Structure 1
Amino acid sequence: MTLSRRRFLSISAAALACAGGANAAPLYHWQGGALGARATITLRHPEAERITHAARSEIERLEQIFSLYRRTSSLSLLNAVGQLDAPPFELLDCLTLASAAHQATGGLFDPTVQPLWDLYARSYSAGQAPGAEAIATARSYGTWADLHYDASAIVMRPAMALTLNGIAQGYIADRIARLFRAEGLTDIMIDTGELHALGGHPEGGDWPVTLDGGAPRRHIALRDRALASSAPLGTVFDKAGTAGHILDPLSGQPAQPLWRLVSVSADSAAMADALSTGMCLMSAKEIHAAAAAIKGVRVVHLATLE
Structure 2
Amino acid sequence: MQNPNLTRRRMIAITATALGSTLASGARFARAQDAFRWHGSALGAQVSMEIYHHDRAEAERLARDCLLDVRRMEQQFSLYRPDSAICTLNRTGILVAPDPEMVALLKQSLIFSDLTGGAFDPTVQPLWRLYADHFASERPDPEGPSQDRLADVLTKVGRHGVQVGDDRIALTNRGAAITLNGIAQGFATDRVVEKLRKAGLTTTLVDMGEIRAIGSRPGGAAWRIGLADPDRPGAITERIDLIDRAVATTAGAGFRFDAAGRFTHLFDPRTGLSPSLYRTVSVVAPTATEADALSTAFSLMAVRQIQEIVASRPNVLVHMIDSEGALVACGA
User: TM-score of the superposition, structure 2-length normalised?
Assistant: 0.83
Amino acid at match of 2:33: A
Amino acid at match of 1:146: G
1:295 positional shift:
3.6
1:26 positional shift:
4.5
Corresponding residue for 2:47? 39
**Greater CA deviation, 4-13 or 167-176?**
4-13
Distance 2:46 2:282 in 1: 18
- SS for the counterpart of 2:253 is coil
- Whether contact under 8 Å (1:25, 1:44) holds in the other structure is no
**Structure with more relative contact order (C-alpha pairs < 8 Å, separation 6 or more):** 1
- Whether contact under 8 Å (1:233, 1:243) holds in the other structure is no
Corresponding residue for 2:277? 258
- Whether contact under 8 Å (1:28, 1:44) holds in the other structure is yes
1:44 positional shift:
2.9
- Whether contact under 8 Å (2:12, 2:251) holds in the other structure is no
Distance change (3 Å), C-alpha of 1:4 and 1:272: closer
For residues 14-53 of structure 1, the aligned pairs below 5 Å read 14-15=19-20, 25-45=33-53, 46-47=56-57, 48-53=59-64
Identity rate, percent: 37
Corresponding residue for 1:21? none
- SS for the counterpart of 1:263 is strand
- SS for the counterpart of 2:70 is helix
2:239 is the counterpart of 1:212: no
- CA offset digits 1:159-207 (Å, max 9, x no partner): 1100000000000000000111111112111111111111112354111
2:307 is the counterpart of 1:302: no
Q: Structure 1: 5+ residue runs without aligned partners? A: 18-23
Amino acid at match of 1:220: I
1:247 positional shift:
0.3
Distance 1:168 1:278 in 2: 14
1:244 counterpart (252, 264, 279): 264
**Greater CA deviation, 210-219 or 156-165?**
210-219
Distance change (3 Å), C-alpha of 1:290 and 1:179: same
1:240 positional shift:
2.9
2:191 is the counterpart of 1:192: no
Amino acid at match of 1:194: E
2:242 is the counterpart of 1:227: no
- SS for the counterpart of 1:289 is helix
Corresponding residue for 2:168? 153
2:288 counterpart (264, 269, 277): 269
1:117 positional shift:
1.1
Distance 2:10 2:79 in 1: 19
1:87 counterpart (64, 89, 98): 98
Amino acid at match of 1:38: Q
Aligned CA-pair RMSD: 2.2
- SS for the counterpart of 1:112 is coil
Distance change (3 Å), C-alpha of 1:204 and 1:249: same
Distance 2:236 2:63 in 1: 35
- CA offset digits 1:245-287 (Å, max 9, x no partner): 1000000111x21111111111121111011101101111111
- SS for the counterpart of 2:252 is coil
Q: How many correspondences in the alignment?
A: 298
Q: Structure 2: 5+ residue runs without aligned partners? A: 1-5, 23-31, 326-332
Corresponding residue for 1:20? none
1:131 counterpart (146, 149, 152): 146
Amino acid at match of 1:140: T
- Whether contact under 8 Å (2:14, 2:248) holds in the other structure is no
Distance 1:11 1:80 in 2: 38
Distance 1:76 1:4 in 2: 16
Distance 1:146 1:7 in 2: 31
